[in-house]
Amino acid sequence: MENSCRLVERSIMNQVLRKDAIAQSDLIKQKEISPTELVEASIEAVESLNPQLNAVITPMYEEARAALGQIDIDAPFAGVPMLLKDGIASYKGVRFSSGSNMLKGNIAKEDSELVKRYKKAGFIIIGKTNMPEFGLLPTTESDAFGACHNPWALSKTPGGSSGGSAAAVAARMVALAHGNDGGGSIRIPASCCGLFGLKPSRARNPLGPFSSLVNGLVEEHVLTRSVRDSAAVLDITGVPDPYGYYAAPPKGVDSYLSTLDQPVRKLKIAYSMTTPFGGPIDRECEIAVEQTVSLCKDLGHELTLKNLDIPFTGKDLGEMFNALWAVGATTPIAFYHLLTGSKPEAGMVEPLSAALYEVGVKITGPRYELFRLQMHKVARAVLAFFDDIDVWLTSTLGMPPVDLGLMTQNPDQPMAPMKVASKFSPMTAIFNISGQPSASVPVHQSLDELPIGVQITSKFGDETTLFQLAHQMEKLLKWQERTPVIIS
């Protein structure tokens, strides 16, 4: 009888784990489940599924149970479990590795500002998730922690660099997980794993204890299964940082969440069937855009075929972005040198990281400043492209989720994975340069049932339009009802 009751209880909690964070919070507030029951169910899901996925690399179960004892039950997400990506966001007393052997023993000395806001909102953080070393690649395969697998097809990448977070949310371990995005690292795994993933406007979320990262390319937020979860969390965390280097425009609404069911004005949406500079994309990605164009027309919006038109070539942007990224990639190694007084020994960092470090340290201050100024010229040109449109619609990726191992690193050709990465993900980095809000929406599944996302991007500071448009799509497509093979 006890085993039978346990099976019933487990079945009920599995259904709760399939709900979004707002629904889970409602069940707690209505006293239909307790925070402890939900957190333990989430831990059990991690323990059950992680051996196949390798999404969670640092369990924080004791920290989570301790946090339950201090919970403010009136907090908006009191008792709802979540996961942290093991990069940028730090949790005092817990390992902070950035996916690298070099930092496997590094313990965070403080909570980052974003983590403080998650805790204040009532979230219970139960672990940290897998990522590529230093977040450099759009796949999650590191020497330090091994490959993370896509729950829709275990041989495929979940994307990167927030791949562990995306895999965990898609597998219903948690309703949402933290990620960050310096070149597409929220949107890429969202597309690969069938999730909604928003990169907010530059400086919408705080980066404390830092003021800016990689000259403003990096933003943080969450990966979710529902649009409303993403909106609700940004309402909480997207409060101006008085110590930030940049400042996002006022959001223009009292609450993103409250706007989701309001009437949506007729939007001017431009769309492209190519990469930003006219290159081809996979047919499945074209189909995703075609389906979304048809859907948006049915919703009453105005659609126009329009490719990106700015006075810069893809080669110009690649040179600039790679230089800024290479200098940014020197930071972890420089941090290690500062802590230890020596450079990392051979094998402590991967070939790509080592190669980018060597490139980065050779870029002079004046040359870096020229690249930085060029970045702002590019940003102004991209923003001007949006003067007469509300949204630009493209595929999120150049192709469906690729096989794990395709971006394996070779010491003899350390930069080779970057060439594969540029073909896999040619769409996303330009909006890290411009700082605009940009989201991947899970609109399509390929013939072999792999998720395919489309990218929607709006004017600088206008997350509201993206939330409203994505929510319109969500109500028709009901993508939350799709479940990956690992839990089907």
Residues with active-site annotation: 85, 161, 185
Sequence-distant (≥ 6) Cβ neighbours of residue 356 within 8 angstroms: 136, 325, 326, 329, 330
- What DSSP state is assigned to residue 413? S
152's tokens? 């829709």
CA 327/CA 313 separation, integer angstroms: 22
In 3D space, the residue among 271, 247, 272 whose CA is nearest the CA of residue 390 turns out to be 271
Partner residues linked to 129 by β-bridges: 56, 85
d(CA 89, CA 105): 16
Beta strands (DSSP E) in 130-243 are: 141-142, 146-147, 176-181, 196-199, 219-224
Residues facing residue 392 across a β-bridge? 270, 457
Q: Which ranges in 251-313 belong to alpha helices (H)?
A: 256-259, 283-298
Round to whole Å and give the CA distance between 350 and 142.
Answer: 8
- The H or E element that residue 9 is part of is helix 2-17
Token pair belonging to 244: 């930030």
Tokens, residue 190:
């969202």
Contact criterion met (CB below 8 Å) for 466 and 454: no
Contact call for residues 81 and 42 (beta carbons, < 8 A): yes
Which of the 8 DSSP states describes residue 401? P
Helix, strand, coil content of the chain in percent (nearest 5) = 40, 15, 45
CB atoms within 10 A of CB 383: 15
Q: Which of 99, 105, 185 is nearest to 143 (CA)?
A: 99
